[in-house]
C-alpha cells in the first residue's frame, strides 16, 4: 500500500545531529524515518518539514535556509531513490519512474517574518506548504496552547491575513496545525482554496488543544482539505500524569473512524510527526506502515477507504493545488 505522509521532523533531527558533529544521514539513521525505512513501508511521497524553533535562533529565515540546504544535499546524495517535487507534473514523473518523492514544507510561519518577499523566496526554494505558527505567538498569528486551554479569542494578525492571501496566490498550501482555534476559524472564513491540518487529531477523542474540534473537521472537509493523523500519544488519548506514554494503533484507528463519521473518508490522511514525537510507538518507524493498513482492514475499512487515507486523498489535493 503506497504511503503519503504530510509531516515529519526528520530534517530537523538530522540538522541538530550534524550541528553537534554527529554522523547521520537521510539514507539510514537511528530516527523514526530514513529512506531505507520508507522503502520498507512502501512510501511514495513524504513531506519534509523545516521546523524552526524561535527560541533557539535569532534569525529564523537564515536557520530555515540552512536546513533547506541540508535537505537538498541529502536529495542529491540519494537521487537514485528520491527526488524533490514542487508540482503535480513532477509528482507524476516520479510515480511513473517508481521513485519516491519529497515535498519541502515549513513549520513556523515566522521564517518569513510577515514579509511576502521572503515567502516568495522560500517558495522559489521549493517550499509548498507552511504552518502559520508553531507553539509561539509570531507576527502572523497566535498558536494553539500546547495541551492547555484552547486560544479561542486571538487568531490571525494583519500580516497573517496578508501571508495567507500570498500563499494561496503562489500555490503554497496553508497548514493550520499548531494554529489557535480562533486562527483556524479565521482561515476557514478567509481561505479561497482547500487547506490542510497536516498533523492533528480529533479533540472529541483526546482533549489536547492541538487537536481539532468537530466543527473544524467539518469545515476543513467541506473546503476539500485533508487532516493528517498524528501518532503523538498525547494527541491520541488523554494520558494521566505519570501514565505510560504509548502511541497505540487502536487509537489511530479510533481517530480515523471519528473523522470519517464527522467529515467523511475524503478528509483523512496521514501526518505521522515522525522524529518530532517521543514516547513508545506501536508504529515504531516508517517501515511499520503495513501494520496500520492491516489494522484498518481488521477494523472494517474497505480497500478503497484504506487507499484513500494512505495516499489518494492527499494525491487529489496535490493534483488540485500544486
CATH code for position 187: 3.20.20.140
Low-confidence ranges of the chain (pLDDT < 50): none
Position 17 scores a pLDDT of 95
Helix-then-strand count for the chain, H and E: 13, 11
Give the other-Cβ count within 10 Å of 270's Cβ.
27
Give the separation between CA 1 and CA 264, rounded to whole angstroms: 21
Position 153 scores a pLDDT of 87
- Structural domain of residue 29, as residue ranges? 3-321
Position 239 scores a pLDDT of 86
Position 86 scores a pLDDT of 99
Give the separation between CA 307 and CA 302, rounded to whole angstroms: 9
Strands (E), the chain: 3-5, 43-51, 82-84, 100-107, 127-131, 173-175, 196-197, 226-229, 246-247, 268-270, 280-281
Position 148 scores a pLDDT of 67
Position 272 scores a pLDDT of 99
Domain count, the chain: 1
Position 242 scores a pLDDT of 77
Position 240 scores a pLDDT of 79
Amino acid at each position: 500500500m503506497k504511503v503519503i505522509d504530510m509531516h515529519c521532523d526528520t530534517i530537523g533531527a538530522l540538522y541538530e545531529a550534524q550541528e553537534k558533529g554527529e554522523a547521520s544521514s537521510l539514507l539510514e539513521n537511528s530516527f523514526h524515518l530514513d529512506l531505507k525505512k520508507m522503502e520498507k513501508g512502501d512510501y511514495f511521497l513524504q513531506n519534509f518539514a523545516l521546523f524552526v524553533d524561535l527560541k533557539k535562533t535569532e534569525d529564523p529565515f537564515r536557520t530555515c535556509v540552512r536546513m533547506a540546504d541540508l535537505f537538498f544535499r541529502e536529495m542529491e546524495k540519494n537521487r537514485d531513490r528520491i527526488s524533490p517535487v514542487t508540482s503535480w507534473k513532477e509528482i507524476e514523473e516520479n510515480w511513473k519512474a517508481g521513485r519516491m518523492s519529497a515535498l519541502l514544507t515549513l513549520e513556523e510561519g515566522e521564517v518569513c517574518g510577515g514579509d511576502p518577499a521572503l515567502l516568495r523566496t522560500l517558495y522559489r526554494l521549493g517550499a509548498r506548504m507552511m504552518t502559520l505558527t508553531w507553539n509561539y505567538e509570531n507576527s502572523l498569528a497566535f498558536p494553539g496552547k500546547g495541551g492547555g486551554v484552547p486560544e479561542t479569542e486571538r487568531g490571525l494578525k494583519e500580516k497573517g491575513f496578508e501571508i495567507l492571501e500570498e500563499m494561496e496566490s503562489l500555490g503554497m498550501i496553508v497548514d493550520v496545525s499548531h494554529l489557535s482555534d480562533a486562527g483556524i476559524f479565521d482561515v476557514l472564513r478567509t481561505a479561497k482554496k482547500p487547506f490542510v491540518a497536516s498533523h492533528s487529531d480529533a479533540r472529541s477523542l483526546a482533549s489536547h488543544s492541538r487537536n481539532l474540534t468537530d466543527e473544524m473537521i467539518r469545515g476543513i472537509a467541506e473546503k476539500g482539505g485533508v487532516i493528517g493523523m498524528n501518532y503523538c500519544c498525547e494527541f491520541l488519548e488523554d494520558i494521566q500524569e505519570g501514565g505510560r506514554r504509548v502511541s497505540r494503533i487502536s487509537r489511530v484507528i479510533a481517530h480515523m473512524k471519528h473523522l470519517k463519521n464527522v467529515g467523511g473518508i475524503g478528509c483523512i490522511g496521514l501526518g505521522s510527526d515522525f522524529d518530532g514525537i517521543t514516547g513508545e510507538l506501536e508504529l515504531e518507524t516508517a517501515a511499520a506502515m503495513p501494520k496500520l493498513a492491516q489494522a484498518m482492514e481488521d477494523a472494517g475499512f474497505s480497500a478503497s477507504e484504506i487507499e484513500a487515507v494512505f495516499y489518494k486523498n492527499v494525491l487529489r489535493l496535490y493534483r488540485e493545488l500544486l
